[in-house]
Amino acid sequence: MDLNRDIVMGHEFCAEVVDYGPDTERRIPVGTRVSSRPVMFSGVDGMKIIGQNPETPGAFGEYLLLDETLLQVVRSDLPSEVVCVSDAIGVGWSAARRAQVGAKEIPLVIGCGAIALAVIATLKRFGSGPILAADFVPSRRELALAMGADAVIDPAAVSPYQAWRDMAAGSIEPTKNMMAAGSSGCVVFECVGIPGVLDSIIMGCERGTRIMSLGGAPEGDHLHTLTAKRKGLNIQFGGGPLPQHWLEAFEAVSTGSLDVTPMVGQSVGLDEVPAALDAARDANGPARIIVVP
Q: What is the 3-state secondary structure (H, E, C) of the chain?
A: CCCCCCCCCCCCCCEECCCCCCCCCCCCCCCCEEECCCEEEECCCEEEECCCECCECCCCCCCCCCCHHHCEECCCCCCHHHHCCHHHHHHHHHHHHHHCCCCCEEEEEECCCHHHHHHHHHHHHCCCCCCEEECCCHHHHHHHHHCCCCEEECCCCCCHHHHHHHHHCCCCCCHHHCCCCCCCEEEEEECCCCCCHHHHHHHHCCCCCEEEECCCCCCCCCCCHHHHHHHCCEEEECCCCCHHHHHHHHHHHHCCCCCCHHHEEEEECHHHHHHHHHHHHCCCCCCEEEECC
Domain membership flag for residue 7: no
For residues 211 and 270, state if they share a domain: no
Domain count, the chain: 2
Instruction: Give the pLDDT confidence of 20-56 residue by residue, as tens digits.
Output: 999 999 999 999 999 999 999 877 778 899 999 999 9
Residues 207 and 162 grouped into a single domain: yes
Q: Is residue 172 part of a domain?
A: yes
pLDDT tens readout for residues 97-141? 999 999 999 999 999 999 999 999 999 999 999 999 999 999 999
On the question of pLDDT at 175 being above 90, the answer is: no
Same domain, 164 and 48: no
> Are 163 and 186 part of one and the same domain?
yes
Asked if residue 145 is part of any domain, the answer here is: yes
Domain that holds residue 273: 15-86+242-291
Same domain, 151 and 20: no
Residue 10 included in any domain: no
pLDDT at 183 over 60: no
129 and 262 together in one domain: no
Regarding whether 50 and 35 lie in a shared domain, the answer is yes
69 and 138 both lie in a single domain? no
How high is the pLDDT of residue 201?
Answer: 97
Residues 122 and 68 in one domain: no
Do 117 and 190 lie in one domain? The reply is yes
Looking at the structure, do residues 176 and 268 belong to the same domain, yes or no?
A: no
